[in-house]
Amino acid sequence: MQSLPHGTSATDPDTKPLIAEFRAATKRYGDILAADALSFGIGKGEFLSFLGPSGCGKTTALRMLAGFETPTSGEVYLDGERVTDVPAYKRPVNMVFQHYALFPHLTVADNIGYGLRQRRPRPDRAEVARKVDRALEMVRLTGFGPRRIWEMSGGQQQRVALARAIVNEPKVLLLDEPLAALDRKLRREMQIELQTLQRQLGITFVLVTHDQEEALSMSDRICIMQSGRIVQSGSPTALYDQPVSRYVADFVGKSNFIDGTLMTRSGNAGQVQTATGHRFAGRLAGPLGPGANASLSIRPEQIGLAHAARDGAEPVTVINRIFLGEHTEYLVRHAALGDLLVLVARQAEAAEGGFAPGDAGHVTWAPEAGLILGLD
Amino acid sequence: MRLYAAAVFAFLYLPIAVIAVFSFNAGTHASQFTGFSVQWYGKALSNPFVMEALRTSFIVALSSALIASVFGTMAALALQGRVRVVADALFYIAVLIPGIVIGIATLIALVTLFGWINPLLALLGPEGQAPQLAMGYGSLIAAHALFSMSLVIIILRARLAGMDRSLMEASADLYAPPFATFRQVTLPLIFPGILAGFLLSFTFSFDDFIIAFFVAGSETTLPIYVFSSIRRGVTPEINAIGTMVLAVSLLLLVAAQIILRGGSRKGAS
């Protein structure tokens, strides 16, 4: 549990029984520590995501679960059994590969039936065909069975890869950046489809992604990874509202950061002073003490933008305005704090009147909207 | 520039075209066309020496190509992803070394080897009845297979390098043990490469004169027969044999190219 600072638990002890578990699983490649004593559990039926930039160890974690990598030390458990040294072909998990890895010499139906045909005793043809048809139906590709892989579009190949995995009814379905190669619209569709499928099948899904939107929209729980360790794990809402560090706040949603030094702390409230002498109050969650380098994080939607100056408001100049439909995103510049991102809801903008680049304005936020975070 | 290119092609291919044209000559002269006829093809194919040489060439080509394909495939698989630059360089050098060097080197190596082994074999039986190693089919097949193996390895290494590693992982992920993965995924995907390698090896062995000349012993392959016949003058019969060898070789080479192209389209998608 040393890899989980600030007392955050990677497992929700009061939820479902565990289907998979890592116990101090470490993976080294030469000098590189890809997984640093990972310890966490995955609940039965959960939709768990590993989120982090490339090289953070998320793919290594997934590959240790699939059986493509053996931990240098530590253990991996699947459904209560120790599988640390069990080869991939003996593990009851299936993977959807990043570039699908569909067999180019087989038809769509033969690709999907591949896993079933490896079973011993071998199931009879009729049964394989029936299961393949049902899987095709589930991913909305009925009738595509006799097609060749190269005759399918990217989105269709993605669904074939999904069908090839779920047809085996794995204990855990592993998804390695499965939507990365799809265009934006298709990606939204597949996100919804994956979520629906997961609820229908009740299979545990483990997703690896660097796309925060993907992780936030689909997962029950997200593990944020950094340098081979899980820095925080929790529900999308919990990560968004209570990030434990600037790294997490930066990775989950957008945020403004005002760097400075923690001056005072009393309980959960503290004050940060910037290099320019500005002081801001904020909530405090971590074990930070006075004198520590800290960053005040304020979400763009928690900042108000007004024409008139009010008590405690900071004067800014509007730099840019992006209309996003429901919201308008303003980039404003403060003389000492630098650039801030402000998200104004449509109604609020209508009430206040819009701003054009070059306009002067004033920003305010509630003291409890500011979150004081450690810099790591 | 055009003219220059045309001259180069004419210089390269005209002599071959002349051979093909004169193989259909009705007369006996190799340089004077007197009428169309296929009689020389009939003569060549009914000549027992030609047929014997053809049989030898065919057996050697088939055996050496089979051996080269099987062992070349195994070597390419074993060397997968390892010592890339060094291995590739060594295999290319093996293909580029002049045939005469390979011929002499193989001859010296085999003679030396036989010199060590034959006295030992002589101990196994009474005088004159013990088995003795000598140049012949064995040395021909071995020398050709060894050379062709480099061809097969080069083709297959290129093909394996272009293959998506995650296909093998996907197969393992779908419960296929290593050998099942090899049989169901790796082999089908590299098979066009193996087949192309086999055809190239066959063609090489069938056409080779230099290496064969050194290690054939008392056996006569078709190119050796042609060479020794030419010393008595070029006849239309020789032209007919040359044309037939050319046709078969071209056919096999084109087939190998088509297989490699078609296969790479599938493998790449």
Task: Supply the CATH number for residue A59's domain.
Answer: 3.40.50.300
In a shared domain, residues A219 and A273: no
**What's the whole-number mean pLDDT along residues B5-20?**
87
Whole-number pLDDT of residue B264 = 52
**List of residues 6+ apart from A121 with CB closer than 8 A:** none
In a shared domain, residues A227 and A259: no
- Candidates A67, A89, A105; nearest CB to B266: A105
CA distance B10 to A49: 68
Choose from B173, B191, B266 for mutation: most chain A CBs within 10 A: B173
Whole-number pLDDT of residue B28 = 73
Whole-number pLDDT of residue A2 = 39
Q: Answer yes or no: do B185 and A103 touch at CB < 8 A.
A: yes
Q: Does a structural domain hold residue A133?
A: yes
Q: How far apart are the first and last CA of chain A?
A: 18
Whole-number pLDDT of residue A16 = 64
In a shared domain, residues A333 and A302: yes
Would you place residue B231 in the very low, low, confident or very high pLDDT band (cuts 50, 70, 90)?
A: confident
Instruction: List, for residues A303-360, the tens digit of each pLDDT value.
Output: 999 998 888 888 999 999 999 988 999 999 998 888 999 999 998 888 888 899 999 9
In a shared domain, residues A102 and A220: yes
- Candidates A67, A89, A95; nearest CB to B176: A89
* pTM of the predicted protein model: 0.80
Does A122 contact B at CB distance below 8 Å? no
Whole-number pLDDT of residue A112 = 97
Q: Answer yes or no: do B189 and A104 touch at CB < 8 A.
A: yes
Instruction: List, for residues B196-215, the tens digit of each pLDDT value.
Output: 999 999 999 998 999 999 98
Instruction: List, for residues B37-60, the tens digit of each pLDDT value.
Output: 888 888 888 889 999 999 999 999
Whole-number pLDDT of residue A173 = 96
Instruction: List, for residues A64-110, the tens digit of each pLDDT value.
Output: 999 999 999 999 999 999 999 999 999 999 999 999 999 999 999 99
Q: Does a structural domain hold residue B6?
A: no
The range of the structural domain enclosing residue B150 comes to 55-268
What CATH number has the domain bearing residue A286?
2.40.50.140
- Candidates A89, A95, A104; nearest CB to B266: A104
Whole-number pLDDT of residue A169 = 93
Would you place residue B34 in the very low, low, confident or very high pLDDT band (cuts 50, 70, 90)?
A: confident
Across chain A, which has 376 residues, the per-10-residue mean pLDDT values are 40 67 94 92 94 92 95 94 95 94 95 94 93 94 94 92 95 92 85 90 94 91 94 93 90 90 88 89 84 91 90 90 92 91 91 90 90 85
* 204-263 of A, contacting B, C-beta below 8 A: none
Residue A245 Cα distances to A91, A294, B30, B57, B206, angstroms: 36, 9, 92, 77, 73
How many domains does chain A contain in total?
Answer: 2
Looking up tokens 């169901």, which residue turns up?
B184
Which one is predicted more confidently, B102 or A117?
Answer: A117
Does B164 contact A at CB distance below 8 Å? yes
SS (H, E, C) chain B: CHHHHHHHHHHHHHHHHHHHHHCCECCCCCCCCCCECCHHHHHHHHCHHHHHHHHHHHHHHHHHHHHHHHHHHHHHHHCCCCCHHHHHHHHHHHHHCCHHHHHHHHHHHHHHHHHHHHHHHHCCCCCCCCCCCCCCHHHHHHHHHHHHHHHHHHHHHHHHHCCCHHHHHHHHHCCCCHHHHHHHHHHHHHHHHHHHHHHHHHHHHHHCCHHHHHHCCCCCCHHHHHHHHHCCCCCHHHHHHHHHHHHHHHHHHHHHHHHHHHHHHHHHC
Does A323 contact B at CB distance below 8 Å? no
In contact, A103 and A110? CB cutoff 8 Å = yes
DSSP of A37-79, one letter per residue?
EEEEEEETT-EEEEE--TTSSHHHHHHHHHTSS--SEEEEEET
In a shared domain, residues A93 and A192: yes
Whole-number pLDDT of residue B71 = 96
What CATH number has the domain bearing residue B263?
1.10.3720.10
Q: Answer yes or no: do B169 and A150 touch at CB < 8 A.
A: no
The range of the structural domain enclosing residue A320 comes to 254-374
Whole-number pLDDT of residue A4 = 40
In a shared domain, residues A223 and A335: no
What is the widest separation between alpha-carbon atoms in chain B? 72
